[in-house]
C-alpha cells in the first residue's frame, strides 16, 4: 500500500531527471551529430555559420519538445492531486453525514440525509454507497409489514416518521438514481410504509414485495420492473405511474380503492379484482 502511494512521486522525479538529462545531452557533441544526421548530404556543403545555426535549431526543437512533455507530466500530476484531494473531501463529508444519521435529534438526522443526497449529486461515483446507507437507514427505522388483521398491525405506525419520509425521498429522487450494474436497487420489501408520500419517485426495479403501501402517494412514480408481489396497495394513489404493467398490479395482494393509471385500471382482470374488493 505504501509503495502505491510513493510510486507516482518516484515516477515524477525519474521523469524530471530524464528530461533534464536529455537537455544536458543537447549541449554536448551529440547535438552536432544529430544535426549532421538530419541535414544528410547537405552537411558537407554547409559553412561554419550554417552548421552552427542547424545545431541551434536542433537544440531549440529538443528544448521545446522537452518543455511540452514536462508540461504534460505536470498537468497529469496536478489532475491526479486534484482527484485525490476531492476524494478526500467527499470521504470526509460522507463520514460526517453518517455521524448525523446516528443522532437522536430528528433535525440532525434529516441534515445527514440531505448531506448524503448532495454527495450523490456532486460525486456520482459515491452514489452506490450513499444508496446502501439510506436503504439501511430506512430498514432500521421502519417496521416489518404485519399481516392484515393480526395483532402486530395495530401497533404499526399510521405513517412514516419525518426522518424516514425524508430518507425515502432522497433515496428515490429522480435526480439521485443512476442506472448501472453496481447500483443496488431500492429494497423496501416487507416494510410497513403506509401513507408514504413519494410523488414522482424513481422506483425502477425496486423491491416492494410484501410491503404495506396502504394509502401511499405514488402518483407519477417510475415503477418499471418494480416487484409488487404480495404488496398491500389498498387506497394507494398510483395515478400517472409510468412503466406499471397489468402483471405487476395483479401480483399485488390487494387493490381495493387503489387509483391506477390507464390502461392498467381498464384491464378486465384488474377491474374484476377491484370489484371483488381484493
Interval 49-82: pLDDT, tens? 777 777 777 777 777 777 777 777 777 767 766 6
Domains of the chain, by residue range, sit at 2-94, 108-275
The angle subtended at Cα 94 by Cα 92 and Cα 99, nearest 5°, is 95
Give pLDDT tens digits for 253-262. 989 889 999 8
pLDDT of residue 74: 74
What is the CATH code for 108-275?
A: 2.160.20
pTM recorded for the entire structure: 0.66
Asked whether residue 184 carries a pLDDT value surpassing 70, the answer given is yes
Residue 18 has pLDDT above 80, yes or no: no
Q: Shortest CA distance to 113 belongs to which of 47, 182, 164, 42? A: 164
Omega of the bond leading into 40 within 30 degrees of 0 (cis): no
38: number of Cβ within 10 Å = 13
Mean pLDDT of the chain: 79
- Whether residue 190 contacts residue 211, with contact meaning beta carbons closer than 8 Å, is answered with yes
Say how far residue 137 (Cα) sits from the centre of its chain.
18
Query: Is the per-residue pLDDT at 228 higher than 90?
Result: yes
- CA-nearest of 255, 251, 171, 243 to 214 is 255
Quote the cell numbers at residue 136: 439501511
Amino acid at each position: 500500500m505504501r509503495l502505491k502511494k510513493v510510486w507516482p512521486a518516484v515516477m515524477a522525479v525519474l521523469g524530471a531527471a530524464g528530461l533534464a538529462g536529455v537537455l544536458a545531452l543537447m549541449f554536448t557533441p551529440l547535438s552536432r551529430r544529430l544535426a549532421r544526421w538530419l541535414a544528410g548530404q547537405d552537411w558537407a556543403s554547409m559553412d561554419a555559420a550554417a552548421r552552427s545555426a542547424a545545431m541551434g535549431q536542433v537544440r531549440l526543437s529538443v528544448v521545446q519538445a522537452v518543455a511540452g512533455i514536462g508540461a504534460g507530466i505536470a498537468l497529469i500530476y496536478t489532475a491526479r492531486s486534484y482527484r485525490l484531494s476531492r476524494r478526500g473531501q467527499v470521504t470526509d463529508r460522507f463520514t460526517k453525514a453518517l455521524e448525523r444519521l446516528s443522532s437522536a435529534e430528528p433535525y440532525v438526522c434529516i441534515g445527514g440525509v440531505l448531506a448524503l443526497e448532495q454527495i450523490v449529486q456532486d460525486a456520482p461515483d459515491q452514489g452506490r454507497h450513499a444508496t446502501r446507507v439510506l436503504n439501511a437507514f430506512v430498514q432500521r427505522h421502519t417496521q416489518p409489514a404485519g399481516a392484515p388483521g393480526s395483532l402486530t398491525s395495530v401497533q404499526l405506525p399510521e405513517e412514516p416518521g419525518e426522518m424516514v419520509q425524508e430518507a425515502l425521498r432522497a433515496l428515490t429522487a429522480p435526480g439521485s438514481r443512476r442506472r448501472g450494474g453496481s447500483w443496488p436497487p431500492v429494497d423496501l420489501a416487507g416494510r410497513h410504509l403506509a401513507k408514504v408520500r413519494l410523488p414522482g419517485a424513481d422506483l425502477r426495479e425496486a423491491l416492494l414485495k410484501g410491503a404495506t403501501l396502504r394509502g401511499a402517494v405514488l402518483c407519477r412514480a417510475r415503477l418499471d420492473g418494480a416487484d409488487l408481489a404480495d404488496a398491500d396497495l389498498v387506497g394507494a394513489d398510483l395515478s400517472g405511474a409510468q412503466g406499471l404493467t397489468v402483471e405487476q398490479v395483479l401480483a399485488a395482494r390487494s387493490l381495493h380503492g387503489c387509483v391506477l393509471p390507464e390502461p392498467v385500471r381498464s384491464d378486465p382482470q384488474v377491474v374484476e379484482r377491484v370489484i371483488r374488493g381484493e
